[in-house]
Structure 1
Amino acid sequence: MILKYIPLDEGMMIMDEAIVKAKKIIEGYPETKFSGEEYQRFYECVYFMCTYHSSNEKTMQLYEKFRNSLEESIFSTVLPTLVNKQGANLLREFVVIWSNYKLMARWLCRFFEYLDRFFIPQHIELESLNGISFSCFRDLVFKKLYCRLIEAALTLINQEREGQQIDCVLLKNGLDIFVEISDYKGVNYYEDFERIMLTEISGYYSRLASEWLLHDSSAEYVQKVFWCLNREKQRARQYLHPDTEVKIVQVVRYHLLDQIANKLMEKRQAENSGMVTDYQEILSKYAGMSLQEGSSSTSPEEWLSTLMANSAHIC
């Protein structure tokens, strides 16, 4: 390829064309395409500006232009779109704009690719183009909205737990972004969300355990536990990370079984005076399992099936 001299002002104007068109993607036109001729023109512009002179001055200005183009898009389009949204509306807009932002950034990374191939490897203190794309969105958008996004996700989960219909695909897509952004810099935002969610689940099932012990028979209590465990497993498989299912089951079992084992046996004893020996033995064997034993070969379903079968026999 014959080197071509491109003055700084002219080169920057050419790249402004690329940036303006790429921004249309994040403005709501994800179908925006670049022709092969356009791609070649923008790529060669960066290439010639980087290689014609030995000085790094123009190259560093191109590097900063790439970053500034992302930041400007965030401040002019992304944040104004999201800042006043709440709940499911916030999560829905967030999922769409993250997808469009990645597409826009992918095109810009291709146009400025020569920086990644030549300039950045010579300056180890500089972040890669893909790294800049992630860090800009993470620091300027995700961190700013993180608490509201958690609140939106938890609200949907609680609504679904209470029997309302929610958009499970939307919830999964939103939580997948938590994982996706976490993977890049080692800060696990999904784990932070998971801790908050498990704390809420603990409080929820602790309250339910008290209510059920007060108002339901021991057999009804066991049936409700069985139903809750199955529903929580189904719920986790719909929109949560695979590792979360085990943790939720452990929390539910702890609050509905381990914590109240003695009270449940006392309730059963009051219902079946003098006929609780077998029941107590089963309950002591299975319900007394610690959280560390939650991954044993005895599944919650097996435990409950055995318990319900024996309680039916005693009756």
Structure 2
Amino acid sequence: MMMIKKVHRFSSEEYMRMYSIVFELCKPNRRGGNSEVLYDKYHNFLKHYITSKVSPSLQGKKDEALVKEIEQRWSNHKVMTRWITRFFRFLDRYFVPCRKLPPLEQSTLLAFYNLVFGEFNHEIKDAVLSLIDREREGEGIDQALIRNIVGIYVDVGQGSMKYYEQDFEGDMFKATASFYSTKASNWLKTESYKDYMLKVRI
């Protein structure tokens, strides 16, 4: 059974304290100096967290168990993203645009995608497509789970379908074609012409 941890909600005082620390560190040189150091440490922290906490939690998991773990980890990551990008908003106001870097929200979401999906995308796709095939066979599945996983490809694009199209859509079309090709072949062997035509039209 998955353990549900209580989410810590930062008070306005905690938020202001965190923001003020970042502000004081970056204020002397908004476009370099501590700002650059802090930006690098921010992304080093993300990489360490994902590779030491998220990726190990996925190792050895398959099929629906893998998909459920991804769903939970992505949900956690979005909550973390919402808060830490607020704490480091001062970087977004000056350092990031000056260096022509992607906004922190985008780079934080992409850190998860690049590190997690970069390693597990094949397994994730196979698990999702397997669930979709099971539904086509008449089995009840958690449709919200599928929507949430497919939604990750859309979320990281932030309005663009780039990641969905390059990392999921093509394989989904191939799997769909393969599924119905196999079905049609089996129907030809087992059904009358009339019944076959009815199934094909459906």
TM-score, L = length of structure 1: 0.58
Q: Is the 8 A contact 1:79 1:141 kept in 2?
A: yes
Picking from 61, 86, 110, the partner of 2:86 is: 110
Amino acid at match of 1:121: P
Q: 1:174 aligns with which of 149, 158, 174?
A: 149
Aligned partners of 2:67 and 2:149 also within 8 Å? yes
Mapped pair 1:74 → 2:55: no
Change (3 A) 1:30 1:74: farther
* Distance in 2 (alpha carbons) for counterparts of 1:157 and 1:60: 45
Residue in structure 1 matched with residue 135 of structure 2 by the alignment: 160
Kindly tell me: are residues 158 and 122 of structure 1, through their superposed partners in 2, closer, same or farther at Cα, counting changes over 3 Å? same
Count of residue pairs brought into register by the alignment = 200
Pairs within 5 Å for 1:34-53:
34-52=10-28
Taking a change above 3 Å as real, the CA distance of residues 54 and 107 of structure 1, as seen in their structure-2 partners, is closer
Give 1 or 2 for the bigger CA radius of gyration.
1
Give unpaired runs (5+ residues) of structure 1.
Answer: 1-26, 230-315
Aligned in 2, Cα 1:79/1:28: closer, same or farther, shift over 3 Å?
farther
Q: C-alpha separation between the residues in 2 aligned to 1:176 and 1:209?
A: 30
Q: Report deviation, 1:109.
A: 0.6
Distance between the aligned counterparts of 1:92 and 1:117, measured in 2? 36
**Aligned AA (1:188):** Y
Fraction of identical pairs, as percent: 36
**Contact 1:30–1:103 (CA<8 Å) still a contact in 2?**
no
Q: 1:299: which partner in 2? A: none
Q: Distance in 1 between matches of 2:31 and 2:192?
A: 82
1:41-94 C-alpha deviation (Å, 9 max, x unpaired): 111111111114578321111111211221121122111111221111111110
Of structures 1 and 2, the one scoring higher in RCO (CA 8 A, sep 6+) is 2
**Does residue 196 of the first structure (1) align with residue 178 of the second (2)?**
no
For 1:208, give the aligned amino acid.
K
- Give, as a single letter, the amino acid of the residue that structure 2 aligns with 1:92: K
Q: 2:102 aligns with which of 117, 127, 148?
A: 127
Aligned-residue offset at 1:179: 2.2
Judge conservation of contact 2:18–2:87 (CA < 8 Å) in 1: yes
Aligned partners of 1:70 and 1:105 also within 8 Å: no
Distance of 2:172 and 2:137 partners within structure 1: 15
Offset of 1:222 from its aligned partner? 2.7
Q: Compute the TM-score of the two structures, normalised by the length of structure 2.
A: 0.87
Q: 1:209 to 1:203 in 2, by over 3 A?
A: same
Q: Is the 8 A contact 2:81 2:109 kept in 1?
A: no
> 8 Å contact 1:30–1:100 — kept in the other structure?
no
| Structure 1 position 143, deviation (Å) | 1.7
Equivalent residues of 1:95, 1:173 under 8 A apart: yes
Q: Distance in 1 between matches of 2:135 and 2:191?
A: 24
Note closer, same or farther for the CA distance 1:224–1:177 as it changes in structure 2 (3 Å cut). Answer: same
2:181 to 206, 209, 228: 206
Residue in 1 aligned with 2:60? 84
Q: Which of 44, 52, 62 is matched with 2:38 structurally?
A: 62
Output the CA distance in 2 between the equivalents of 1:74 and 1:28.
Answer: 19
- 2:77 aligns to what? 101
Residues 186/61 of structure 1: CA separation in 2 closer, same or farther (3 Å cut): farther
Structure 1 residue 184, shift from structure 2 partner: 6.5
- The 1:101–1:173 alpha-carbon spacing in structure 2 relative to 1, beyond 3 Å, is same
Find the aligned partners of 2:69 and 2:191 in 1 and give their Cα distance.
43
Q: Distance in 2 between matches of 1:53 and 1:219?
A: 77
Q: Distance in 2 between matches of 1:49 and 1:80?
A: 33
